[in-house]
Homo-oligomer: A and B are copies of this chain.
């Protein structure tokens, strides 16, 4: 039986004798039952302190339900027998964590609430006129039980939140994967349609209905219910939203006034409306263009992998190497004096150099290796199942080939460029950032030692 409470992390409790346990449980139950409503209030206040969470707390159903379920949770957790097994209880905590993930109650808020709760229950326990040792054991039991419950909840919350993030992203990409050009044209048309309806309205009777706000048009609805998800966080999206607000709040009311006056005043407002529509059209185009590049797996110029996917790939490869005991080597490759090439021959020459270095690299690695565009003139190569020594050989081959190879520039000139390469073999460290750092330092050494050379990471050099 003691095993159960120890397994779930009640380590203080597990070391307490049975007589004190019984006393402590009685004391804790009394305090919890007495103060349950106050404790629920504390938890609630922690939620209210958060802007996001407080918006839905105002809902009466939530208030009532949350209050009830918090109370039930508290009593079930703190008045139950911790030595009687926890399976059903475990299940409950996980369900709560899943619900929190679904309705987006952040885990740190739940933790803040539980911290307040622990402090308050502790204070009440200490006020009790009971044996000092019993009070301490009751306090520790309470604290260990709350921590245990929050731990179970957090685990389920993280699983649920992660799954959600994946599906959200999948939906976003799948939406974008539909016919994007068609979508862009449809929305442009919807925008023009709204503009037209405003203008036609102006030629109607003076007493006719005021123009429909753009935010209520098909375009406005699309903006709120589709674009927000598809173009999450894009700056042109914010621009469009601002322009739409500006039209509805400032221009449309002016049109109505100017219409009565007519003449120059109306002309002026209409010119401003036209400018706003043009601006939205421009931003809309921008918005659709911005995703075209973002969603590419590869850099369009060099065909190397997008750096954005580096964490996904490297953390998987490092974990794979650790679990299967296979090797993994990184090459960090940088074009020497790239700035001078750019300055002297122009950026078209620079692009040529970059394209060719990417080609040389890809010709020297297998399809299962990963070549990333890491920075402007930097490439990162992950050689899977390749020991450091073999990695050095490949790096040397790349360096030599590039040096021996005259680069044809667009204007007919031919130049030679060189590369410096840092090599780092994975030796078990679970953080891929650590391995990148080693390769980076090795590259730095190659640079300071005169460029056009291959250096191994210093961790190995020091061995």
A residues touching B (Cβ–Cβ < 8 Å)? 9, 11-12, 15, 55-56, 58-62, 99, 102-104, 106-108, 111-112, 114-116, 118-120, 122-123, 126, 132, 136, 140, 143-144, 147-148, 150-152, 154-155, 157-158, 161-171, 173-175, 177-178, 186, 218, 221-222, 224-226, 228-229, 295-297, 308-309, 311-313, 315-317, 319-320, 322-323, 366-368, 384-385, 427-434
Contact = CB atoms under 8 A, between A and B. Distances in A.
Contact of A429 (B61, B143, B174): B61
A323 B54 CA distance: 11
Given A108-B151, A115-B151, 9 more contacts: A59-B429, A61-B434, A102-B432, A108-B154, A118-B147, A165-B165, A174-B296, A175-B297, A225-B317
13 contacts: A9-B112, A9-B116, A56-B322, A99-B431, A157-B158, A158-B158, A165-B166, A167-B308, A167-B309, A168-B312, A171-B313, A221-B385, A222-B368
B111 A312 contact: no
Contact of A132 (B12, B132, B186): B132
A144 to B, nearest CB: 7
Contacts of A150: 111
Majority-rule SS of A interface residues: helix
A311 B167 contact: yes
A384 B228 contact: no
A127 to B, nearest CB: 12
A158 B107 contact: yes
A312 B164 contact: yes
A52 to B, nearest CB: 9
A189 to B, nearest CB: 12
A58 B366 CA distance: 31
A378 B161 CA distance: 27
Contacts of A315: 102-104, 164
A62 B435 CA distance: 13
A316 B104 CA distance: 11
A384 B112 CA distance: 35
